[in-house]
Amino acid sequence: MPRQAQSRCKMVSERLICMTAPAPTLPKKPVVTRFAPSPTGYLHIGGGRTALFNWLYARGHGGTFLLRIEDTDRARSTPDATAAILRGLTWLGLDWDGDVVSQFQQKDRHADVARDMLARGSAYKCFCTQEEIESFRAAAEAEKRSTLFISPWRDADPATHPDTPFVIRMKAPRTGQTVIADAVQGTVTFQNDLLDDMVCLRSDGTPTYMLAVVVDDHDMGVTHVIRGDDHLNNAARQTMVYNAMGWDVPVWAHIPLIHGPDGKKLSKRHGALGVEDYQSMGYPAAGMRNYLSRLGWSHGDDEFFTSAQAMGWFELEDIGRAPARLDFKKLEHICGLHIAAGENAALLHEVQAYLVVSGQTALTDAQSDGLLRAMYCLKDRAKTFPELIDKAHFVLTSRPVQLDEAATKSLDMVSRSMLRELTPHLQTALWTREALEAIFTAFAAAHGVGFGILAAPLRAALAGRIVTPSVYDMMLVIGQTETISRIEDAAA
């Protein structure tokens, strides 16, 4: 994928760097990004966007997009949740490279690194019990002191170590500051004396997230960590692990979270949270990708685009710093454009998948065939798949066509007799739009009525409803025989 657009600013600054320091023109490391959800439920819509950004960036830069499941918390991780996440990503069309990595399976490696840090003197054994720490924190809070816990074992003589369970804590620097050069947030500075010695290895020998992410990201060769800005504070402590091990720190990009329509953090009461919920609501995946990518990222005034275009445009510096709200109206609008632009067979395929996941009965072969033939007059008007199916009712249904209340009402004595007079004209008609238009125009004129008067009972007869696509489109799609039969049914 050629780089179509690049921040002008960045190009200028790179040029400047080259002029002042010609040396660092080392070959750029290929981009490696990853999405690392924890398997505690479904794929959250915010997680879906994080995955999307990682995917766009990797794919747009000829890089690699990896997937890792952060399942070190055994109590909260379930195989079902992992499966749900994979399903969500697959539906969104975000394909990852290589095998899915299980963080838990790397636990021995994590423990090795923890011991390595111990040997290097950048970590130490802490024998404090959780109860001790909890009571310390409770007391500190009550007295309004800092709850920052400094282990008494930090500089203890190993000879004094008791024979009790211990955790391995990072021996974090107590002075100076840690600077995060974030591609989205800019330069963020943390005072080291405000950061505690995080636990790297639990007393049961399992690694904590803080250690595991760093080790895995390093081992997997991740060059760009694009994740929610709820991790921004963590980045400082994680940097210390990189430094302790002498590893290259990745490029950080902490993106703002997505909020609900009311501006509050997205939660259950907002309804649809999982990516799969959006699939069951019948939004096309291409539209979801388009809409989600515009939440917090922009490329000038471009609103409607394909993922291929987004890949060519996507740069970290174009990501905003403020949280964005979910707007279903705009989502629908974008999705409508994607349905309209969709290829008929692909749309049919997606509609079928939608019916299955939303627990509805799939279309029969005959219905699929009908939908395919009707697609041309349907797809411009539907924003979602349920809407598309609703508008396709005339071709999905079969005789005898069920009439709804309004349709029954419009088929009164007068209009039924009009329909009876109409059928002979249709029997001999050439079945083209032009010929049909000529017939109906003449027929309406002969009866001294406008075409609208004629169209209403026709909609009722053909679709059983009075809100339908164009009557000409319906007749052309269902064909001459079926049209005449339906009109005769209604006129009887």
Partner RNA sequence: GGUCCGUUCGUCUAUCGGUUAGGACACCAGGUUUUCAACCUGGGAAGAGGGGUUCAACUCCCCUACGGACUGCCA
* Residues annotated as part of the active site: 268
Task: Report, in Å, the least distance between residue 423 CB and RNA.
Answer: 18
Q: Is 296 helix (H, G, I), strand (E, B) or coil?
A: coil
- Please select the residue that binds RNA; options are 97, 229, 277, 488, rule is CB under 7 A: 229
Alpha-carbon span 52 to 35, nearest angstrom: 9
User: What are the Cα distances from residue 167, in Å, to 58, 152, 469?
Assistant: 37, 13, 69
Q: Which stretch binds RNA (CB under 7 A): 154-162, 206-214, 218-226, 272-280?
A: 206-214
Answer for the pair 166, 125: CB distance below 8 angstroms, yes or no. Answer: yes
As measured in angstroms, the least distance from the Cβ of 321 to RNA is: 3
CB nearer RNA, residue 249 or residue 257: 257
202 counts as binding RNA under rule CB under 7 A: yes
What is the Cα–Cα distance from 254 to 185, expressed in whole angstroms? 7
Site for RNA in 346-365 (CB under 7 A): none
Q: Which stretch binds RNA (CB under 7 A): 45-53, 182-190, 273-281, 407-415?
A: 182-190
Reduced to 3 states (helix: H, G, I; strand: E, B; else coil), residue 291 is helix
Q: Is 471 in the site for RNA (CB under 7 A)?
A: yes
Please state, as a whole number, how many other Cβ atoms lie within 10 Å of the Cβ of residue 259. Answer: 19
Which position among 5, 87, 118, 190 is part of the footprint of RNA (CB under 7 A)?
190
Q: Is 221 a residue that touches RNA (CB under 7 A)?
A: no
C-alpha span between 83 and 43 (Å, rounded)? 10
Task: Note whether 130 binds RNA by CB under 7 A.
Answer: yes
Residues 419-458 that bind RNA (CB under 7 A): 437, 450-452, 455-456
| Token representation of residue 307 | 């993922």
Nearer to RNA, 3 or 76 (CB): 76
Interaction residues for RNA, span 313-332 (CB under 7 A): 317-318, 320-325, 327, 329-330, 332
Query: What residues from 27 to 86 belong to the interface with RNA (CB under 7 A)?
Result: 38, 70-73, 76
User: In this chain, which of 41, 115, 209, 344 binds RNA, going by CB under 7 A?
Assistant: 209
Q: Where does residue 346 rank: exposed (0-12), middle (13-18), buried (19+ CB within 10 A)?
A: exposed
Closest CA relative to residue 170, chosen from 123, 213, 113, 114: 123
Q: How far is the CB of 393 from RNA (least distance, A)?
A: 12
Pick one of 295, 347, 392, 478: the residue that binds RNA (CB under 7 A).
295
Cβ of residue 290: shortest distance to RNA, in angstroms?
Answer: 11
Residue 439 CB-half CA count within 13 A: 21
Which residues within the stretch 371-430 sit at the binding site for RNA (CB under 7 A)?
Answer: 380-381
Which of 464, 267, 45 lies closest to 456 in space, CA to CA? 464
Q: Please identify which residue in the block is written with the tokens 């290097």.
A: 120
Q: Closest separation between CB of residue 466 and RNA, Å?
A: 6
The nearer residue to RNA, 29 or 325, going by C-beta atoms, is 325
| 32/167 Cα distance (integer angstroms) | 32
CA distance 203 to 166: 5
| Count of residues touching RNA (by CB under 7 A) | 87
Residues 140-169 that bind RNA (CB under 7 A): 144, 146-149, 165, 167
Q: Is 466 in the site for RNA (CB under 7 A)?
A: yes
Is residue 470 close enough to count as binding RNA by CB under 7 A?
yes
With 0-12 CB in 10 A as exposed, 13-18 as middle and 19+ as buried, what is 272? middle
Contact region for RNA (CB under 7 A) — 89-97, 201-209, 349-357, 419-427? 201-209
